[in-house]
A and B are shown apart, each in its own frame.
Chain A
Amino acid sequence: MSDVLIEARNLSVHFPLRRLGFGERPVVRACEGINIEIEKGSFFGLVGESGSGKTTLGRAMLKAAPISLGEITYSDTDVTYDLGSLKGLELKEYRKRAQLIFQDPYAALSPRMTVRDIIAEPLEVMGITSSRAETDEKVREIAAKCRLNLEHLRRFPHAFSGGQRQRISIARALVSDPKFIVADESVAALDVSIQADVLNLLNSIQEESGITFLFISHDLSVIAHTCNFVAVMYLGQIVEAAPTHKLFSETAHPYTRALLSAIPSLDPDVRGHAQKLEGEIPSPINPPPGCRFNTRCPHAQERCRTEVPEWREMSSGHHVACHFSEELSAEFGT
């Protein structure tokens, strides 16, 4: 077996809402019955539409969202943590090891701190360095990796472009020498050129340091380019997960198929080939019974409306939750 850094088993994250009148208290089922393994040193992509639960899953792995059912285990060479029961010193240690790169490059940086102080803050808060000289040394080293120079460190974040602000967020996440980074939508709000720059930077950091990444995005073409493994999420569940090349060559879930064909082609001569999904994502408060995708799935059968498809391994490393994956996969392939 290969080395798994972080693993979720039957993980559910539920957010209870305020009760409206009498009756049962409504619950947002943001993540439901999730099983994934993230291998050490991998660039693991999580893709899905808005509200599908990507951020919630990422936050649960950082112990920043409640684990309602199931468990998440982090195991490195020296430690094993069960995130559900993690507290005290161990939780503090985990906070150093697991970091988040924020979604929105504009909201994330405090406007009244210099770039140096923004990057240094985690070191000071976590008590990682023992002197100002040591902190400065560390900040400069990380800043250089993220192509920020000494002049940049003295300035305030408002003076920076979108791409530079993104590099500042990345530097801040890297400074505590984490083993695991959740990068949530860190490229979605950016222009293509800046996006390419940030993706290249993350990839080179990963190659150099071996940090494990959970990379969250709406954009399957970005995920495909950056990640070696992809999980596709729909309405709180993972519907398909596979090594990137397999997900593309042996697509087995109709939702993955739809996401792929909805990416606008760059070729003006192949227009209108998108296989269109009708309707919108249902509410995670009242997900459809049976297969959650059945209200939009072009291949749905009677059985899909009542019977929940099992999460199963179709071929080595390729998991899917659909009653008809074998037939459909063959059909998609042709």
Chain B
Amino acid sequence: MTSPLISVKDLTLRFKTDEGLVTAVNNVSFDIAPGEVLGLVGESGSGKSVTAKALMMLNAENSVYDDNSHITLNLDGEDIEVLSLKRPQDQMIIRGGAISMIFQEPMASFAPAITIGDQMVEQLLIHSDMTPAQAKDISIEMLTRVGIPEPAQRFGQYAFEFSGGMRQRAMIAMALSTKPRLLIADEPTTALDVTIQAQVIELMKDLVDEFHMSILFITHDLGVIAQTVDRVAVMYLGNLVETGTVRQVINSPAHPYTRGLLNSLPKLDDLEAPLTPVPGDIPSPLDRPSGCVFHTRCVESGAIAEKCRTEIPVYSSDSANHQVACHLATQGEQS
């Protein structure tokens, strides 16, 4: 097996707030192989964006990483400990270099008073030895590649002059122009209409094939996941509760929470099927439940409810590397 491009091990991240320490990410581990698309799903507030930002050290000042948290980036055989890159000049390797990020709100990631083109060029100049003329050529080529009509004119325009779909494409063009090894896409299609979403998904797939990069694809839309990723990690209240291939997780979900998300979805092939929401509300991160974090909403704990309330389930894996953190799974193994 090839070594992973990036390996996250026991990542725990808290925020200092007026109300106390908030645990946003709890003991999370996952790997992304070169060329692999990993999907990260979960309800809003589950910690997806915070996890993604940790890979680039982009979390707010009030964040505290636990000492045994590790994020290791493997660049051409050399291991880089991301969390120990303390000085801004060291962080250049990751930010916009080896890793690029597409943000949830495309407007926020372009400076309003600088043209799209100048922003793309500036980024390339920081991360390469190109001349400004070369950087401009590459930028226009990238805008062409993502399907922006009349790219040379568009190069000189500002973000507010673009429609939502075009902004999202321009952001993808900018994120890809430095040829990152890992692209983090945080809800890249959530704000888009379905017909535009379909275009952007298609575009991203083509680009992965061509550039052979890895993607961390964050979304709360399981349909988008099914259509886009190789493997899925499901997050609930800062914990990873299940990981596996997209077929394992979507076709035979192993965690009650994953099953709950799937049962909440309206299905086009069966309009009469009732929608079954996960009961109750997601607890406050200030008030994390004991034992299994999902026990306050789980409909499957039944006879083992007491165990669920008190004991933290360990992560277990079947022979096909489908991993789940649930007492039901480990019980199945024993019996």
In the assembled complex, which residues on chain B have CB atoms less than 8 Å from the CB atom of A161?
A: 281-282
Q: Is the interface of B mostly helix, strand, loop or mixed?
A: helix
* B32 touches A (CB below 8 Å): no
In the assembled complex, which residues on chain B have CB atoms less than 8 Å from the CB atom of A50?
A: 164, 193
In the assembled complex, which residues on chain A have CB atoms less than 8 Å from the CB atom of B260?
A: 193
A162-B165 in contact given A263-B268, A274-B198 (Cβ < 8 Å): no
- The reply to whether B195 and A193 form a contact with Cβ atoms under 8 Å apart is no
- The reply to whether B224 and A264 form a contact with Cβ atoms under 8 Å apart is yes
- Residue total for A at the interface (Cβ-Cβ under 8 A): 44
A264-B193 in contact given A196-B275, A225-B266 (Cβ < 8 Å): no
In the assembled complex, which residues on chain A have CB atoms less than 8 Å from the CB atom of B263?
A: 196
How many Å lie between the Cα of A267 and that of B205 in the bound state?
Answer: 17
* Set A219, A224, A267, A280: member contacting B163, Cβ < 8 A: A280
* Set A200, A245, A268, A277: member contacting B277, Cβ < 8 A: A200
How many Å lie between the Cα of A258 and that of B194 in the bound state?
Answer: 9
Interface residues of A in 240-288 (CB under 8 A from B): 244-245, 248, 258-260, 262-269, 271-272, 274, 276-277, 280-281
A262-B195 in contact given A163-B281, A225-B271, A276-B202 (Cβ < 8 Å): yes
* Set B43, B163, B197, B222: member contacting A262, Cβ < 8 A: B197
How many Å lie between the Cα of A49 and that of B265 in the bound state?
Answer: 20
How many Å lie between the Cα of A41 and that of B164 in the bound state?
Answer: 37
14 contacts between A and B (CB under 8 A): A162-B44, A192-B43, A193-B278, A196-B277, A200-B274, A200-B275, A264-B221, A264-B223, A264-B226, A268-B227, A268-B251, A271-B226, A271-B227, A276-B198
How many Å lie between the Cα of A218 and that of B195 in the bound state?
Answer: 11
How many Å lie between the Cα of A315 and that of B230 in the bound state?
Answer: 44
- The reply to whether A262 and B198 form a contact with Cβ atoms under 8 Å apart is yes
- The reply to whether A193 and B261 form a contact with Cβ atoms under 8 Å apart is yes
Of listed A200, A219, A264, residue having the most chain B CB within 10 A: A264
A269-B264 in contact given A264-B221, A264-B226, A280-B196 (Cβ < 8 Å): no
* B250 touches A (CB below 8 Å): yes
Q: A219-B194, A264-B226 are in contact. List 4 more A-B contacts (CB 8 A).
A: A164-B281, A200-B275, A266-B265, A274-B198
- What is the CB-to-nearest-CB distance from B148 to chain A, in angstroms, rounded to a whole number? 11
How many Å lie between the Cα of A50 and that of B195 in the bound state?
Answer: 11
- The reply to whether B261 and A49 form a contact with Cβ atoms under 8 Å apart is no
- The reply to whether A224 and B266 form a contact with Cβ atoms under 8 Å apart is yes
Query: What is B's interface to A at a CB cutoff of 8 Å?
Result: 43-44, 163-166, 193-199, 201-202, 205, 220-224, 226-228, 246-247, 250-251, 260-268, 271, 274-278, 281-282
- The reply to whether A268 and B246 form a contact with Cβ atoms under 8 Å apart is yes
- The reply to whether B194 and A218 form a contact with Cβ atoms under 8 Å apart is yes
In the assembled complex, which residues on chain A have CB atoms less than 8 Å from the CB atom of B220?
A: 191-192
* A306 touches B (CB below 8 Å): no
* A114 touches B (CB below 8 Å): no
Query: What residue of chain A has the Cβ atom nearest to residue B251's Cβ?
Result: A268
Query: What residue of chain A has the Cβ atom nearest to residue B245's Cβ?
Result: A268
In the assembled complex, which residues on chain A have CB atoms less than 8 Å from the CB atom of B274?
A: 200
How many Å lie between the Cα of A268 and that of B232 in the bound state?
Answer: 12
How many Å lie between the Cα of A281 and that of B281 in the bound state?
Answer: 37
In the assembled complex, which residues on chain A have CB atoms less than 8 Å from the CB atom of B277?
A: 193-197, 200
How many Å lie between the Cα of A192 and that of B276 in the bound state?
Answer: 10
Query: What residue of chain A has the Cβ atom nearest to residue B219's Cβ?
Result: A264
Query: What residue of chain B has the Cβ atom nearest to residue A52's Cβ?
Result: B193
How many Å lie between the Cα of A274 and that of B203 in the bound state?
Answer: 13
